[in-house]
Structure 1
Amino acid sequence: MTEGNFVDYVKIYVASGNGGKGSVHLHREKYITKGGPDGGDGGRGGHVILRGNPNLWTLFHLKFKKHVRAGHGAHGSKSRSTGADGEDMYIDVPLGTVVRDTETNNILFEITDEGEERIIAQGGKGGLGNWHFKSSTNQTPRYAQPGLPLEEKHVTLELKVLADVGLVGFPNAGKSTLLSVITSAKPKIADYEFTTLKPNLGIVEYRDFQTFVMADIPGIIEGAAEGKGLGHYFLRHIERNSVLLFLIPADADDIKKQYDILLDELRRYNPEMLDKERLIAISKSDMLDDELKAELKEELDNELPIPYLFISSVAQQGIQPLKDALWKMLND
């Protein structure tokens, strides 16, 4: 999937259908000139329904479909015939889609399960026909209920990527390179910051044909939690990951400081992210000789509060131990 086709944020207008009118009808046939009221009820207006579809990965199919309208309910008719219900409109969305009211920005609900259906705009109820209103004192009512009006709203759909492992790091830390080596994904790779602007997903093949999903999240910068850069767009994709893999290059000025900044951005965006399992991978470690690596290891043993590994995506060093560590964290 090309980067331009990964759409994770759309605004759409939805409108349900009007309820059908109840019928005002008096029964008439041969030899029955003054039959009682027999006007039928109006049909229900169609709903607009969101449905979870595990085969979708993005909201691209909604990029050019900004208006969704359900069908109107049909009016009631004679012989107590109820009008047909309006056609429901289904909108398939990927799992992990958050639905917000565009005007208030309040979260309405989230779609997380396969086949889960949630009504986003309720169809109007059909009106009652005049036969409901007959009584001993009013045997020929000449009125019926109108159908209830449609419901319309503007909603924002946001996708939070569902993955087992999320790659977290500063721009140009080597996240896309690692994903391209450890999975079959083909993310864009270049030697400048913010090469990745959309999340990339890849399936990691482990031992005995077992797999897990890894997500390459665009680089985080200091201040991302306040929305600096495209912080909020990037950070929301990390919320769904079970394990966070912090990728910090071996040539960083201060590895512990970089980890603290990244962790602080996650904490300020959503403190619940700190409850996730975490692992640090020191990337580009093929640039270190044995002596430098030993010095750095001694320093990091005292500084880093969580486990860490030395890896090199280009030289294919430490890749299998990394897979083993991630698999153990996901399944313990």
Structure 2
Amino acid sequence: MTEPLLQVRELKTHFPVRGGLLGRVRGTVKAVDGVGFEVRRGETLGLVGESGCGKSTLGRTLLRLVEPTAGSIRFEGRELTGLSQRELRPLRRRMQLVFQDPYASLNPRMTVRDILGEPFAIHGLERGREREAKVAELLDLMGLPRDALGRYPSEFSGGQRQRIGIARAIALRPDLVVADEPISALDVSIQAQIVNLLVDLQRELGLTYIFIAHDLKIVEYVSTRVAVMYLGRIVELADAADLYRKPRHPYTQALLSAVPVPDPERKRTRIILQGDVPSPLAPPPGCPFHPRCPYAMERCRRETPPLYALGNGHTAACFLVEDEARKVTPAGPDAGAPQSVGG
């Protein structure tokens, strides 16, 4: 079996909160708190969860745009967390980000020619006519006209701007692309076009995606596997088909119950969660989901559940699946032993 393209272990990203005249640390926001997973080359890992769960922070931490507090990020077996910015530069071209907002992510003072030529200039690749040819090729891939080269971002629609942002991300043919809610700022009529463009580019260029979104139907369409985040942790991870067919974690079940069903004859029981997501500045003890969970037990208030292995790569951080995990794990001295919280 080939080595995963990306391996993450016990990754944490904490932000100190300062206050008072002396700026002393008054608390810590645990935006990402012990996350672990692997991404295989050519697949799409969907990352879902409510706003504020840490999805975007995790995506930026993986690319070292936000510095991790602890943990391991390995890209093709090479540890990234200890590298200096200078040592990271050669790897930057192989890991890119598609931003959420196409209006804010493009420099309004640069033409499309300059925006798409900038990655080549930064990394000292292609000059003159060769760079011009590469930029024109990117426009063709995006379905944009060649006369767009001399125009500014303000002259394009939201969907066209996002195509320019995607073109910039894939300009150097990266191996890994983190797409941070790439369609949430777009009109519904344009979202499907951008999603299909990303799928086509993956097939044509062999890209690997981490696709961050809150639209569960879109995530189901594009993803090979799906990770569900809650309050800085992954609470369930599985193949997309398995997770949507039989979610194990109560939080995942609640999220999926809110997805509209296109068949009027098919009824789905909606699970309404009580209360709001707790603050990452003061997470609850025990299972972070227990204040809103309809199945919470006394144990949930005291202990933090690990990610239990349920077979076929399906894991869930919930004590309700502990017995199922024991049946899956072969008998032996470690029978029923869960995976670490970091995955």
TM band (smaller chain): under 0.3
Larger radius of gyration: 1
In proportion to residue count, which structure has more helix?
A: 2
TM-score by length of 2: 0.22
Considering Cα pairs closer than 8 Å and 6+ residues apart, tell me whether 1 or 2 has the greater RCO. 2
